[in-house]
Amino acid sequence: MPFDRRRFLIASGVTGGLAAATTAGVVSYRELHHSAAQEPLAGGGVLVVVTLYGGNDGLNMVIPVEDPAYRAARGELAYSAEQALPLTDGFALHPAMTGLRKLWDDHRLAIIRGVGYPKPDHSHFRSMAIWQTASPETASTTGWLGRWLDAQAKTPAGGSSAPGASSAPAGSSSPGSAAALRVVSVGPTLAPLVVGATTAAAAVPTGPFTAPGGAIGQELRQLYRPDPVDGPLAARVASSGADLFTVAGTLGPVLAGQADQDTGPAGQLDGGGGDATAAPAAGTATSPPASATVAAAKAGELGAQLDVVAACIRAGVPTRAYSVNLGGFDTHIMEKATQAKLLGELDAALTRFQAAIVGDPHGTAVTTVVYSEFGRRVAANANDGTDHGTAAPVLVLGTNVRGGFHGDAPSLTNLDDGDLRFTTDFRSVYATLLERVLGTEAGVVLGSQEHFPRLAFL
């Protein structure tokens, strides 16, 4: 595996020969649970990284409503002070982010302004690679949390962990390796930022924690028992199928404890529940209340991912960092409607997540960070959208967070070829998170020569 972008495309399956690596990181809930029982989370912070793919328009998320240059540059795309949710310093939050506005009032939302890196790249892939490897100058082979994971695997506490050690075959009683479980990527594939040189994060699936009931449910339980004649992929069909029942049986009750935590089938099938063709399979182990389904639907796919994270945290899974994501921010045309929908989903998902963990003993240790590969250009384009830009705000939320603004707001008039000049290097954010949340010397991840100023948001 000689080169970085190959790793970045593991998730897309284009690398062929590395399919084994992708598979190796995928663990079952059974394995997660085993580890939670064997080696529960004991102290230390938990980091949740939310990646927004596509380049989120930071100027229309944390809005300089009182800057005339904003209105001039954005025209119809601009939000007025009346429309947006006021913060301080002449800034306001996007109208859809009502939940985060409350967190701001509670001083649990930090907004780091103008975050970027030198010589910004306008390619989605390249800029996302830079953010995820934390290596703007040279193409790196590893993600920043992957390198953290590598360092953890070397420590005696985690024992020795070979890559792929978590790929226990179906039916095996051996749990996922504790080291691999220190970082979990939610979703079927691994986010590049959690791939290290020798270790990769575990990937756990999202989805509703309900299993088919009735006769078909009984037969499927039988169908997904391990069989020694199964090849590796057939075994994985069986184990993933069995996982559905394990999840419903073990994590389901945890979620059912709070009414609004019961996950509806958000984003799955046609969501409306009106699929007449599904009647024969409709018997489910649990059926969420309608209001909970609506709340879950509003939080969307990201909400479903964060439900998994919340469940793991509350179950004491010994994971220190989670990776989740939301895509679709590439708003070249008719941006307002698209971004409002996505930021509404982000807001609902983050609010739901905070509410889910706030009362839990492990919940106070959780810090969530939200970033995108770049912001948008300052001026709107000719299609009521914006093109790829540069610096943008990074959001950090959690009980331990020092709320308010951090970092300087970039000027809207002193531009670099139409783009914002960054004021805070993103590696300052990472260094702060590594030291204050993960308790690791930042140099281990960012290079021993690093001297990025630490920020005061934690």
Residues 112-151 within binding reach of other proteins (CB under 8 A): 122-126
- Residue 261 burial by Cβ neighbours in a 10 Å radius (0-12, 13-18, 19+): buried
Identity of the residue, 192 or 363, whose beta carbon is nearer to other proteins in the bound complex = 192
Judged by CB under 8 A, the chain residues 369 through 398 that form the site for other proteins are 382-384, 387-388
Identity of the residue, 211 or 297, whose beta carbon is nearer to other proteins in the bound complex = 211
Identity of the residue, 234 or 358, whose beta carbon is nearer to other proteins in the bound complex = 234
Report the Cα 29 to chain-centroid distance in Å.
Answer: 18
Q: Give the angle subtended at the CA of 367 by the CAs of 260 and 265, to the nearest 5°.
A: 30
Q: Least Å distance between CB 42 and other proteins? A: 28
Identity of the residue, 64 or 375, whose beta carbon is nearer to other proteins in the bound complex = 375
Q: Residue 188 and residue 240: Cα distance in Å, rounded? A: 11
Looking up tokens 């912001």, which residue turns up?
A: 375
Q: Least Å distance between CB 295 and other proteins? A: 19
Q: Residue 389 and residue 373: Cα distance in Å, rounded? A: 9
User: Near other proteins by CB under 8 A, which window of 11-19, 55-63, 175-183, 286-294?
Assistant: 11-19
Q: Residue 51 and residue 371: Cα distance in Å, rounded? A: 6
Q: Please tell me whether residue 287 binds other proteins under the rule CB under 8 A.
A: no
Can you tell me which of 243, 335, 419, 425 binds other proteins, judged by CB under 8 A? 243
Report the Cα 72 to chain-centroid distance in Å.
Answer: 34
Q: Least Å distance between CB 363 and other proteins? A: 24
3-state secondary structure of 63: strand
Q: Least Å distance between CB 310 and other proteins? A: 16
Identity of the residue, 19 or 358, whose beta carbon is nearer to other proteins in the bound complex = 19
Identity of the residue, 50 or 437, whose beta carbon is nearer to other proteins in the bound complex = 50
Looking up tokens 């001039």, which residue turns up?
A: 72
Identity of the residue, 156 or 274, whose beta carbon is nearer to other proteins in the bound complex = 274
Q: Least Å distance between CB 406 and other proteins? A: 32
Q: Please tell me whether residue 162 binds other proteins under the rule CB under 8 A.
A: no
Q: Please tell me whether residue 236 binds other proteins under the rule CB under 8 A.
A: yes
Judged by CB under 8 A, the chain residues 191 through 230 that form the site for other proteins are 205-212, 215-216, 218-220, 222-223, 225-227, 229-230
Tokens for 439, please give them. 């308790």
* Residue 229: partners with Cβ closer than 8 Å, 6 or more residues away: none
Nearest to 322 by CA among 293, 353, 358, 360: 353
- Length of the chain in terms of residues written: 458
Nearest to 88 by CA among 111, 121, 122: 111
| Measured CA distances, 103 to 46, 99, 107, 369, 404 (Å) | 19, 7, 6, 14, 10
Site string for other proteins, 246-285 (x = CB under 8 A): -x-----------------x--xxx---xxxxx-xx----
Q: Least Å distance between CB 67 and other proteins? A: 24
Q: Least Å distance between CB 201 and other proteins? A: 15
Judged by CB under 8 A, the chain residues 60 through 119 that form the site for other proteins are none
Q: Least Å distance between CB 399 and other proteins? A: 30
DSSP tag of 388 = B
Q: Least Å distance between CB 220 and other proteins? A: 7
Q: Residue 147 and residue 141: Cα distance in Å, rounded? A: 10
Judged by CB under 8 A, the chain residues 314 through 333 that form the site for other proteins are 327-328, 330, 332-333
Q: What is the crossing angle of helices 335-357 and 290-315, to 10°? A: 60
Q: Residue 299 and residue 164: Cα distance in Å, rounded? A: 32
Identity of the residue, 7 or 108, whose beta carbon is nearer to other proteins in the bound complex = 7
